[in-house]
Amino acid sequence: MKLKICGMKYQDNMTEVAGLQPDYLGFIFYDKSSRNFDTSIPEISNSIKKTGVFVNEDLQVVIEKIKTFNLQAVQLHGEESPEYCNDLKGKVSEIIKVFSIKNEFNFEVLKPYEAVCDYFLFDTKGKHPGGNGYTFDWNVLNNYPSTKPFFLSGGIGFDEIEAVKKFQQSTASKYCYALDVNSKFEIEPGLKDIKLLENFKQSLSFRS
């Protein structure tokens, strides 16, 4: 699996996190988030995909951010329609559509997005669009009907290492492309604990 570290906010911290060579770095462009990104991105390795996270944002604003920050991926965390996703195709290399899960999920809602997204991301349904800090029941993904690769998100932290290892051995993980981590590795919103992330990365098998 690959690793995405989301919710970057502070430049020095971004440089340190980028030194761990995650596959994706996430920047949240959502002014209601405590991790809202409003600065510039320092020079980081071209192997790390800069990912903009948006919630029901105007399409032209998303396109503008893609150009301004040279984003390689866009993560859509709201109620964006398949038509909206289709309009983004060709504007960015990867489109990740988020779906929130609690104890159950109707996988039928994925079908209209199959042709217009590169990845799905499954997060925990909670008070906020993301960063709620707790996991959902991953067993729900045993019923995943698609072959589209997905990101697993929602409250994944250092304490979940054994659960992640167990998940990696399960049928549910067959199409799990990446882990997405955020709030469980923070000193404060947007400021990541480098040592904790490093230990997490070393404890799990992430392919380059």
pTM of the model: 0.95
Confidence of residue 206 (pLDDT cuts 50, 70, 90): confident
Is the pLDDT at 197 greater than 70? The verdict is: yes
Q: How confident is the model over 74-126, as pLDDT tens digits? A: 999 999 999 999 999 999 999 999 999 988 999 999 999 999 999 999 999 76
Is the pLDDT at 1 greater than 70? The verdict is: yes
Closest CA to 185 of 176, 177, 193: 193
Mean pLDDT over each residue of the chain, to the nearest integer: 94
- Amino acid 156: pLDDT: 95
**Which value, in Å, is the radius of gyration of the alpha carbons in the chain?**
16
- Amino acid 107: pLDDT: 97
Token output for 112: 């209209």
Q: How far apart are the first and last CA of the chain?
A: 9
Q: How confident is the model over 136-165, as pLDDT tens digits? A: 999 999 999 999 999 999 999 999 999 999
Q: How confident is the model over 120-140, as pLDDT tens digits? A: 999 997 665 545 567 899 999
Listed by start position, the domains of the chain span 2-203
Topology of domain 2-203, CATH: TIM Barrel (3.20.20)
- Cα–Cα distance list, 98 to 166, 191, 203 (Å): 23, 23, 26
Mean pLDDT, residues 7-23: 97
